[in-house]
Amino acid sequence: MMTRKNKVLSFTRGAYFPDYFIFLGAAGAGAGLLLFALGKPWAGAILLLLSLPLTFTRQGISLDPVNKTIKEFTGLFGLELGKKRPYDQLIKLVLKKERRSQTMNSRGSSTTIRYEVYNAYLVTDQETLLLTSHKNQGRVMRKMETVADQLHLPFEIPG
């Protein structure tokens, strides 16, 4: 997801924790609410405070073209924590297709799922940064075409 505040572009790349931690956080939040309902507010509050960050912590990149700074951040409830660093020049945006596989094991059998993901990268004079990733190529392309127009950058799709 891309948001724009005061000419700062912010790209949320996804959850900070793996899916099983997110599930654990959601289950913990549910248990905390149940403890509230059972008349144990302190235990419920502690469980909620421990489980909500597991569910809602995100990671991403903020780009400030006016001040020429990039910040890789970890965000929780809209608060973005990270260190800004300067860059000299933005060069281009690149969309690359990547093949991924995931293996699931159970008793005596395993299954491998193979799929493609489209990654959008920002190339600066110093580094290449992953901005966003999604299984839907059209979604990533629309987002990056908008960013390329805003930043006046070329948008490349290698063959």
- How many CA atoms, within 13 angstroms, populate the side-chain half-sphere of residue 98? 15
- Chain centroid to Cα 154, Å, comes to 23
pTM of structure: 0.69
**pLDDT tens-digit series, residues 21-75:** 888 899 999 999 999 899 998 999 999 888 988 888 888 888 888 888 888 888 8
Judge contact between 16 and 4, C-beta under 8 A.
no
Per-domain residue ranges of the chain: 1-86, 88-159
Q: Are strands 84-86 and 69-76 parallel, antiparallel or unpaired?
A: antiparallel
